[in-house]
Structure 1
Amino acid sequence: MMDMKQILFFALLLVPVYTCKSRCYNETELDDAAGRKLSKHYPQPPLPLRRATPGSSPSCPVELYRQQAQELISDRSLSPWRHVLKTNTARYPSTYVEAECLCPGCIVFKDNAPVESQNFNSVPIVQSRVFLEKVRCENKENTNTTYRLKPIRVDVAVGCTCVRARTSS
């Protein structure tokens, strides 16, 4: 007969095995399950109001700095960026935005005029975000395809900053 310590020890060994099993969802359940998990465990940042036009190429907007009123931080930065819509249908959320630096250098003022300086570099600021990856379940007895949702960390550029250029010594 098992005493209380043995029962507790056995239960502690079983709990991780039991909780590691993740539920499998069919195609119709998958979107709802992902939405619930994301909202409850992995809240997502809101999409920016202004995004780049698909197919447009980035350009360093030095001329913007001749104008006075700029509302968005991305437009006032010495290392400006734009938001680009990205899509990956194997993950939830499948659509997200990523920052793209507009200048290789940084905008500085020389003789009160904005110019791009190559003495500095625009580099992305990266944030780790959690996405849910759609992973196919092994269904030996069932012929329907089901998926589980596996949390993964992905580095996403959220803005750009200006840094000194690297120099070789």
Structure 2
Amino acid sequence: MMRLSLASLLIFGQHASSSCAAAGGCLSGKRLSNLADRFQRRYWDKLALVKYPPPPRDARTCAQLAQEMSSSLNSRAVSPWKYSINRDVDRIPHEIAFAECICQGCIINQHEDLKYNSVPVFAPLMVLKKTRCGNDPSKYEVKNDFINVPLACTCVVPKYVK
């Protein structure tokens, strides 16, 4: 089961200092590993994202979920979502669970209603980005970066152009 708090993501994401990536200059593989471990412990372990990976990829359709409406929170929502793993070898952490909306519309009375839209809810999250040093390709430069991570989906009234 994945435990994820939007408030935690916003609090830790917005107030994270740049001290993790402030090692300065190019880092050896060992120093990069130490920095990554410290970053994981300081920010990501508090979010419980690493300890509780998402369930296996859900292949159920919107229509199936509308009839079942059981199991986990993401399957019972009026805008159900599934998780996929976003991988980036140049990012720390390398793997992050991203929510994907299953329905185009929203589930109302056990049927998909296309008068509404299912849209992802995003939160900024701090990650470390690594790049090889130009003068020494065996070392890395590391910088803080914020990415918008889709956490869940919600039901909204569509935008109308007038």
TM-score, scaled to structure 1:
0.71
1:50 aligns with 2:47: no
The 8 Å contact of residues 66 and 111 in structure 2, kept in 1 or not, is answered as no
Deviations 1:75-115 (A, max 9, x none): 11000000001100011001111000000111111xxxx11
Residue identity opposite 2:24 in structure 1 = S
Hey, what's the Cα distance between the residues in 2 that align with 1:144 and 1:82? Answer: 38
Gap regions ≥5 residues in structure 1: 1-19
**Residue type of the alignment partner of 1:101:** C
Higher RCO (Cα < 8 Å, 6 or more apart): 2
The percent identity for this pair of structures is: 28
Structure 2: distance between partners of 1:39 and 1:23: 22
- Relative distance call for 1:93 and 1:155 in structure 2 (3 A) is same
Instruction: Work out which of the two has the higher radius of gyration on C-alpha atoms and give 1 or 2.
Output: 1
Pair 35,21 (structure 1): closer, same or farther in 2 beyond 3 Å: closer
Partner of 1:100: 100
For 1:100 and 1:122, locate their aligned partners in 2 and report how far apart those are by CA, in whole Å. 10
CA distance in 2, matches of 1:74, 1:168: 30
Q: Give the match for residue 161 of structure 2.
A: 168
Unaligned runs of 5+ in 2: 1-21
**1:63 and 2:64 matched:** yes
- Which of 25, 29, 32 is the equivalent residue of 2:31? 29
Q: Which residue of 2 aligns with 1:116?
A: 112
**Residue 87 in structure 1 maps to residue 62 in structure 2:** no
Instruction: Quote how far apart the aligned CAs of 1:126 are.
Output: 0.2
Distance 1:162 1:24, change over 3 A: same
State how far apart, in whole Å, the 1-side matches of 2:38 and 2:23 are.
18
Query: Over the residues paired in the alignment, what is the CA RMSD in angstroms?
Result: 2.3
The alignment covers a number of residue pairs equal to: 137
Question: 1:4 corresponds to which residue?
Answer: none
CA distance in 2, matches of 1:144, 1:117: 54
- TM-score normalized by structure 2? 0.73
User: Residues 21-71 of structure 1: CA distance to partner in whole angstroms, max 9, x if unpaired?
Assistant: 61422224322321212322x335324441316xx6x731x3334346x23
Alpha carbons 1:134, 1:147 under 8 Å: kept = yes
